[in-house]
A and B are shown apart, each in its own frame.
Chain A
Amino acid sequence: MVAQNIFFGILAAIVAISALRMVTTRNIVHAALYLVAVLAGLGALYVLLTAEFVATTQVLVYIGAVMVLFLFGIMLTKAPLGNVMEMTGRQWPLAAVVAALLGGVTIYSLVDRFGSERLNTDGPIYRTADVSDEVFSTYIVPFEAVSVLLLAALIGAIVLARKD
């Protein structure tokens, strides 16, 4: 248990600091790299929560595919690669207040409700086979809906981004 807590502390620090740097850095490519650190840290946290398939998918889909999409987006929109463009708008103090209020209220209610409730580590451990059994039995209709959604998004993105 102690080892798990130590690893959680390290990973949570990486995730939280990288997320903060991501929304404050002035260089957009650095922001993309900080996002990779956040996503990788979360993938490791999924392993800590014994969700091995979610962790694998996180690495494959987010760090593999989505980050490449973001880098293409940065490249194609010719974003200034240095500190040229002011990345944060004038309204940032208001945004910080809103975010602090939202986070404060959420954390207060979480502490109030869950307090020091221990994570149930004695429950069953679901491996990839169990996850796929559940997806292809109970959640077969949402799974097919997601397939159609992905196809629609693919065609929509092509239609939108086409040159003519």
Chain B
Amino acid sequence: MLLNQFLILGAVLFATGVYGVLARRNGVMVLMSIELMLNAVNINLVAFGMQHGVVSGQVFALFVIAVAAAEVGVGLAIVLLLYRNRTSIDVEDFDLMRG
């Protein structure tokens, strides 16, 4: 197996996640696309950890998973709050900052 197999898969996943964040209108879908990007990072960490024969890659991947879980919790609470206040989770409706 080549190291690049895993790294390129991670790059493809990350680019897909960026597209999802930029193109999707539903707030929950944006959060799901962010999860995609975080997972792309994880596969790079584990692959590099194996390449260099160190355990740190796996440990960092675990930290990223923990932080991602916290991020989803707070993010979904914010989306719920937006829905309650504006009865919409369409991110294009939230343009209060537009001049």
Chain A interface residues (CB < 8 Å from chain B): 1, 4-5, 8, 12, 15-16, 19-20, 22-23, 28, 31-32, 35, 38-39, 42, 45-46, 49-51, 53-54, 57-58, 61-62, 65-66, 69-70, 72-74, 76-79, 85-89, 91-92, 94-96, 98-100, 102-103, 106-107, 110-111, 114-121, 123-124, 126, 130-131, 134-135, 138-139, 142, 146, 149-150, 152-154, 156-158, 160-161
Interface size on B, residues (CB 8 A): 71
Contact code string B1-41 (vs A, CB < 8 Å = 1, else 0): 11111111101111111111011111111011101100100
Question: Which secondary structure dominates chain B's binding surface?
Answer: helix
Q: Are B73 and A154 in contact (CB under 8 A)?
A: yes
Q: Are A23 and B78 in contact (CB under 8 A)?
A: no
Q: Are B2 and A19 in contact (CB under 8 A)?
A: no
Q: Are A88 and B23 in contact (CB under 8 A)?
A: yes
Q: Are A46 and B46 in contact (CB under 8 A)?
A: yes
CA distance A64 to B50 in the complex (A): 26
Residue of A nearest to B88 (CB): A77
Q: Are B58 and A54 in contact (CB under 8 A)?
A: yes
B22 neighbours in A (Cβ, 8 Å): 91-92, 94-95, 98-99
25 interchain pairs (CB within 8 A)? A5-B1, A8-B1, A35-B35, A38-B39, A54-B58, A54-B61, A61-B66, A69-B73, A77-B80, A87-B26, A87-B29, A92-B23, A95-B22, A99-B15, A102-B14, A106-B11, A111-B4, A115-B4, A116-B4, A118-B1, A118-B2, A119-B47, A131-B59, A153-B73, A161-B80
